Structure 1
Amino acid sequence: MGSPVLPKALAFDVFGTVVDWRTSIARESAVFLAEIGMGERDPAAFADAWRAQYIAAMQGMKASGRDFVPLDILHREMLENTLRDWGADVATLDAAMLADWNHAWHRLDPWPDAVEGLTRLKARFPVVTLSNGNVALLLDMARAAGLPWDAILGAEVSGFYKPDRRAYLRTAELLAIAPHDLCLVAAHHGDLAAARATGLQCAYVDRPQEYGGAPAPDAHHEQAWEWRADSIIELADRLGC
């Protein structure tokens, strides 16, 4: 089988694919847990517990018919739920402190290969986000981490959270290209499977440390994607950048 036709644009999942959410959230949570008297608790476990609510939140949005809200709001709800699960009395916690803790998602560190890889890819392809993050979150993250996006797109722009097919199709529409001319780059097989079902090309970037070395929860969705790489730099090599 020959090589796939090159896409006209690359749309990136961000959390886990471009930035290392677990290490970043654990580092900041260690500080906040100490501030509320829970400094003996494992901050990496807290990061995992906070993130674990993410899929349930996405499913809950769809099942309940709840109107679209930015991810910052859902992250805050998930933070408070996690704290309650860990035995904290959320009602007694300082509101400004909780807001700053929630804002940790705006300050995530990039994977070491991300900025160089994106910069190389950007020289040949438009590079945009196709993330469930809201615009303010992704803009803050990009400025802090030096991520060279051409545009910040995704759920808040389309009005739909992935894996809703409209999130993928609306991104292609906004770029004025056919779905098959857009390639989703992601470290998550479930995200890629949903994108492929809408006609997008798919590039998988392996991030074995996203969950601290634990198996990815969506590994069962793995398919033979158009491209596969161990870093965004390697993806740039494979795409001739």
Structure 2
Amino acid sequence: MLKEERQKMIIKEINLHNKVLSTDLSLLLKVSDDTIRRDLKELVDSGKILKVHGGAVSPSFVSTFTTQTDVYAAEEKKRIVQKALKLIKNNSVIVTEGGTTMLELARMIPDHIKATFFTISPQVAITLSEHSNLDVVTIGGKLVKNANLHIGSAVINRLAELRADICFLGANAFSVKDGLTDVDWEVVQVKKALIRCAKKVVVMTISEKLDTVQRLNICGIDKVDYLITELPVNSDILKPYQNTNLVLL
């Protein structure tokens, strides 16, 4: 495989899953760790990705509010959010994580909605605060700089005190067999706590992430109530999910 083709695949994997590990890229592309290390360095030097410990992330996943970055599948994420908004009722208590889909949700909430949001993402909290009818609570802890999420025991303990109506989650990977999976151990523990504190769990993901699996389990598909993608619910891609207890939107 040519270097240019290999690097295009690396960028696609990073855009799709937000964060990837060097060891996983080496296995996927069937090349040495040194080759992946050189590829990542070239992509970092060109500004296409950001290097983090053990792998790389998409710039749009960790960008500040003043940084202009292209969000992967931006139009698809907007369609997902339009569907998700139907689940938000007045006076709801809602918990969220972070990520580009959650930021889009925070931007698109209608101004007439009155609700309380608890979030582990500083970016999402600031974006939500622009809506005058929303009460916004940031659950603070150690900040994961390559994901802009608060993690740790303080966050998990605080979430244990909540009884939210809905939990909105993005997905690194989601499948019928393995459910919701991710790559970061500490982030996984906080996402488990988010799920435990909510009556209903909503997974919002572009369809490209369906039928994919990462190393660490967050929850089985039986713990998820709604699956929202950009696709119509009768899409062939969603057929395996139609035979579960999920509500598809």
User: TM-score, normalised on structure 1?
Assistant: 0.41
From the two aligned structures, give the one with the greater strand fraction. 2
From the two aligned structures, give the one with the greater helix fraction. 1
Point out which structure has higher relative CO (alpha carbons under 8 A, 6+ apart). Answer: 1
User: TM-score, normalised on structure 2?
Assistant: 0.40
